[in-house]
Amino acid sequence: MTVMGPFGVSVRDPALEAEVQAGLSAVEAGLVEATKSDVPLITEAAQHLVRAGGKRFRPLLLLLAARFGDAHAPGVVPSAVVVELTHLATLYHDDIMDEAEVRRGVPSVNARWDNSVAVLTGDFLFSRASTIVAELGAPAVRVQAEAFERLVTGQIQETQGPRAGEDPIAHHLEVVAGKTGSLIAVAGRMGALMAGAPEATIEVLARYGELIGVAFQLADDVLDIASDGTESGKTPGTDLREGVATLPVLRLRELAERDGAAADRELVALLEGDLTDDGRLAEALAGLRGHRALDLARADARDFADRAGRALEPLPEVPAKAALLDLCVSVSDRTR
């Protein structure tokens, strides 16, 4: 059995492995070309995260989705570049809002330069993505525009927080579906669309993409607490420090409210306090790492990965389907 991809996805077909690896190499070249500018600072800042690497999860999924049609259609690789450029642009903007100092194991652009350079570079990446997608036709432009609307809506919903009487966990899952699931759904949809797959197949792959995207982000919620930063490429506890209530925190609050255990209430109080102090942040991380709320969040991530796998049931039993199912397992394994 051979292996490919950033998540160690098992590929049972050597021909598929070779094809997808070739596709990823073409995407990588496309990203470098798309981030060039006549202004040296723009090129340097735009290529900062491209050259830092990354999982390329969205291009990988898009290339696998294209296997359900003509995988060599001319729009497949450019659409993968569009999706990854859009994702990269959101990272530049996210790091500004989070005041993050590290991204993918290197200094964030806002830390290396400043917020102005970071936000404008993100805008530059969005503009390059728009230029490329315009060449792919009106359906592709519509898919990209709708996804961008969902991305922005999800970010605003996160900033606003749950409405009075709204379940905080349901609100968080809606935010995640908008901020993360929507663009990964685009990867599934765009790959199948550009490859000329049947409409029913396109819808299946878009649904799969959204579910695996939510699972991916929930796994990141867990990793922000459970990892040492090697896996996520970010400083552990970044979300906690910024007061972002991710799923493990929401599960803790739910348990504290339901059961009223004194230790849980104390941990909630710690999390709601000032975590800019490294000692308090370390104490909060230690408390969550040993708490069953983290296990509940792990189970939630695995549930969405399982649902993504079940969404693929209507598709034919081909090597690309097996690889997409393996992605579900790999995303689940990230939470361990």
Q: What is the pLDDT of residues 69-110, one digit of tens each?
A: 999 999 999 999 999 999 988 887 666 665 556 565 566 666
Residue 19 structure tokens: 């094809």
Residue 283 structure tokens: 């104490």
In the block, tokens 């859009």 appear at: 86
Q: Which residues pair with 103 in a beta bridge?
A: 106
High-pLDDT (> 90) share of the chain, %: 60
* pLDDT score, position 17: 92
* pLDDT score, position 244: 82
Res. 227: pLDDT tops 70: yes
Q: Are 264 and 256 in contact (CB under 8 A)?
A: yes
- Where helices occur in the chain by DSSP H, the ranges are 14-34, 40-51, 57-65, 76-98, 109-112, 115-134, 138-160, 168-176, 182-194, 199-226, 238-241, 247-259, 262-271, 278-289, 292-311, 319-333
In the block, tokens 């359906």 appear at: 139
Which range is most confident: 23-27, 39-43, 91-95? 23-27
Residue 250 structure tokens: 């929401």
* Beta carbons within 10 angstroms of residue 169's beta carbon: 18
Architecture of the domain whose range is 11-333: Orthogonal Bundle (1.10)
High-pLDDT (> 70) share of the chain, %: 87
Q: What is the pTM of this model?
A: 0.88
* pLDDT score, position 98: 57
Res. 8: pLDDT tops 50: no
**For residues 168-173, average pLDDT:** 95
Phi, psi of 70 (to 5 degrees): -90, 95
Torsion sign (Cα): 2, 56, 34, 40: negative
Q: Identify the burial level of 16 via C-beta atoms within 10 angstroms of its C-beta, where 0-12 means exposed, 13-18 middle and 19 or more buried.
A: buried
Distance CA 246, CA 171 (A): 11
Q: What is the overall mean pLDDT for the chain?
A: 87
